[in-house]
Amino acid sequence: MSTDNPTLDTAPKTSNFIHQIIEGDLNGASAPTQIVTRFPPEPNGYLHIGHAKSICLNFGAADKYNGVCHLRFDDTNPEKESQEYIDAIKRDISWLGFKWHEEIKYTSSYFDQLYSWAVYLIEQGKAYVCDLDVEQARAYRGDFTTPGKNSPYRDRSIEEKIALFAKMIAADFAEGFCSLLAKIDMQSSNMNLRDPMLYRILNVSHHQTGDKWCIYPIYDFAHGQSDSIEGVTHSICTLEFEGHRPLYEWFLANLPVTNVPRQYEFSRLELNYTVTSKRKLKQLVDQNIVNGWDDPRMPTISGMRRRGFSAVAIRKFCEMVGVTRSNGVVDVSMLESAVRDDLESNAKRAMCVVDPLKITISNFADQACEMLSLAVHPKLDMGIRELPFSKHLFIEQQDFSEDTSLGRKKFKRLVIGDYVRLRGAYVIKADAVIKDEQGNVVEVLASLVPGTVGANPDPEFKPRGVIHWVSAEHAVPCELRIYDRLFTDANPDKNKEKSFTQLINPDSLQVISRAWAEPSLLEAQVEDGYQFERTGYFVADMDSTADKLVFNQTLPLRASKAK
């Protein structure tokens, strides 16, 4: 199950419109020698399922067409970024099974080049230092219905603009005092072309460049140029950047660049019962609503990983949702079903009793222990596991009933006077119960039918059904963490009355502090996934210690119909 180093085929099997564009380009007159894509996260949080879609698209397209994909940190907002996020993002991409080309790229490595391009635009009369403050600048820009007005600073002499920009970089001005803008068109119907900002003063250290800069480029001024520097051919981003494309193209057309990439947009992945915004996920972490970015309830890649979702299942899901230009909300049950399919075929099997009822086998010797061998997986050759059988066992409380009138079809479990098979072990019959003072059944006395391990019993001993069990003396105590959806609302960030932080499901985490696992689970490694028979899919958690195993429920065995 652990997919730390998956030797996997990560190229998508299906085709999408981006693939068709690439194929057209590869067959066209000016075909690029190689497809180059990039995944450009801002290191201001952990990656989530939406990013997984973008990763699968960018790295997947490169894989499919023998191209390469860069990992570039779009690090132009040092205030919100950190090395912790950079490390987490690298870890998540590798875990998903993808490899970036060459060394990791940083937009900040291009700050010198971007700076000289800014000077170039000033020299060409295409950029200017503007002293309007935020309020004034907003008023000058106008809005969708009102055209903008030219800034009074627009027509300063080129020499003055160059001198002012030099002062900006020399830290002569306070933050917000002025900024560098492109001189495009204040009347444009596209707001992005109304003299957009290129550089702002920001007196903060940068995680990569330290205190070298006190001005930082705006995303729009950095992105296309970074693509160009890296030789990107297909710059794939989400639809909200569609309106930025003319600006992306304006910079490339007005700068002395050799490589001109093209931008293509696709729709963001959105899931119901989920928020997919780093900013909002950070709020959940900062307000301690969840236990960190990798809380198994989080839609982060690290959260899903800890929850027991495999990289294969996540990639499969991303392929299932497809790549289009139409926005829509995907049902989270689709992701769960991709995960369940993967676990059903690949997870090891084990037994764990959550709510124990003691069974004593009267015809089994007191101190005896019989080792039984069970397949780790019913279909795959994953070896065998040893299971101790002894006089005292645990089964689930709910797998026993005193009611002898219950029909065999209705209750396929243990009933006084009738037979049931213990999974991988004997057929047993319940003979009598022992009760406490309140009349609760605390123990069931049973007898086994000899010769029924791995063999069908005579018809008279035919069992009602099969139940799971563990040997009471050998069982290992463990903690189970059961998760439900984090939000009670299907669209938590679109609710008009309440903020998403007020729509938290109070039962999203339920801790069962003591369940009883078969001893083979002592060997479970962190991230090993299991099907606990009849109970659910579980994964070993990193909080496990020598004294106590901890398992996260990945998903129940079946999708619940209510939701």
Please identify every residue annotated as catalytic: 42, 268, 278
Three-state secondary structure call for residue 330: strand
Closest CA to 328 of 265, 268, 274, 242: 268
How would you class 474 by CB atoms within 10 Å of its CB: exposed for 0-12, middle for 13-18, buried for 19 or more? middle
Under rule CB under 6 A, residue 333 binds ligand ATP: no
Tokens of 456: 């069908």
Question: What x/- string results for residues 6 through 45 when contact with ligand ATP is judged by CB under 6 A?
Answer: ----------------------------------xxx---
Closest CA to 137 of 190, 193, 188, 178: 178
Under rule CB under 6 A, residue 109 binds ligand ATP: no
CB of 53 to ligand ATP, least distance (A): 4
Tokens of 411: 């209750």
Neighbour tally for 541: CB within 10 Å: 21
- Read off the DSSP letter of residue 325: S
Question: Can you point out the beta strands (E) in 231-320?
Answer: 234-238, 262-266, 270-271
223-242: which residues touch ligand ATP (CB under 6 A)?
237-238
Interacting residue with ligand ATP among 3, 10, 37, 54 (CB under 6 A) = 54
Under rule CB under 6 A, residue 446 binds ligand ATP: no
276's contact among Mg ion, ligand ATP, none, with CB below 5 to 8 A by partner kind, is: ligand ATP
Note whether 222 and 76 are within 8 A (CB).
Answer: yes
401's contact among Mg ion, ligand ATP, none, with CB below 5 to 8 A by partner kind, is: none
Instruction: Tell me the C-alpha distance between 327 and 322, whole Å.
Output: 12
Which region, judged by CB under 6 A, interacts with ligand ATP, from 47-55, 145-153, 369-377, 446-454? 47-55
Question: What x/- string results for residues 41 through 80 when contact with Mg ion is judged by CB under 5 A?
Answer: -x--------------------------------------
25-44: which residues touch Mg ion (CB under 5 A)?
42
Name the β-bridge partners of 106: 73
The nearer residue to Mg ion, 123 or 240, going by C-beta atoms, is 240
Instruction: Tell me the C-alpha distance between 491 and 265, whole Å.
Output: 24
Interacting residue with ligand ATP among 277, 283, 397, 501 (CB under 6 A) = 277
278's contact among ligand ATP, Mg ion, none, with CB below 5 to 8 A by partner kind, is: ligand ATP
CB of 61 to ligand ATP, least distance (A): 13
- DSSP readout, 120-142? HHHHTT-EEEE---HHHHHHHH-
Phi, psi (deg, nearest 5) at residue 21: -65, -45
The nearer residue to Mg ion, 112 or 240, going by C-beta atoms, is 240
List interacting residues with ligand ATP (CB under 6 A): 40-42, 50-51, 53-54, 237-238, 268-269, 276-279
Give the residues lining the site for Mg ion (CB under 5 A). 42
